[in-house]
Amino acid sequence: MSSDGGPEQGGERERAAGEAWRALYRLVFEREGQLRFHEACDATGLAPGGLKALLQLSADQPIPMRDLADFFRCDPSYVTSLVDGLEAAGLAERQSHPTDRRVKMVVLSRAGVEALGQARKILGEPPASFDALSTSELLRLRTLLAKLTEAEPPAGL
């Protein structure tokens, strides 16, 4: 955080930022987010690792296994076991790379796409506490959060 407010605003700005962040963190990381994630695991029959992998895959954009390992900062051998699991469940398939025959790429099967939709539906459902905000407050909240996510580094795959 840099301070860009007025000369007397720095403290207030930083306090507000800290409080906002900690509220975000509590809301998502310690409560509803975890619940949602567990629900989605149960609904799809996947272990946490399998669900995280599922969420990074699609039917039409094959992903090299190596990229998954980089994204998750895990060992390639673990990606092997994750993809083994998804394949055994009929949710994903390995494809060979068109030009580099060392590389294997992963895509979702039809069942995988369906499971992904189910997971996204559960994860995307706002918690009951959102009822505490009026519609205009929700609109403002959405706008502010959109600014934050746009400012983030493009951490995707």
Which residues of the shown chain bind a second copy in the complex (CB under 8 A)?
1-2, 4-6, 9, 12-13, 16-31, 33, 36-37, 123-135, 137-142, 144-152, 155
- CA pseudo-torsion sign 35, 40, 41, 42: positive
Strand ranges across the sheet with 92-96: 63-64, 104-108, 92-96
Could you tell me the smallest distance in angstroms from the CB atom of residue 114 to DNA? 21
Q: How far apart are CA 32 and CA 51, in angstroms?
A: 17
Nearer to a second copy, 99 or 135 (CB): 135
123 touches 40 (CB < 8 A): yes
Could you tell me the smallest distance in angstroms from the CB atom of residue 33 to a second copy? 5
Out of a second copy, DNA, none, what residue 154 binds, judged by CB under 5 to 8 A for its kind, is: none
Out of DNA, a second copy, none, what residue 132 binds, judged by CB under 5 to 8 A for its kind, is: a second copy
DSSP H helices, the chain, are 10-25, 32-44, 48-54, 65-72, 76-88, 110-123, 135-151
Out of DNA, a second copy, none, what residue 135 binds, judged by CB under 5 to 8 A for its kind, is: a second copy
Could you tell me the smallest distance in angstroms from the CB atom of residue 111 to DNA? 19
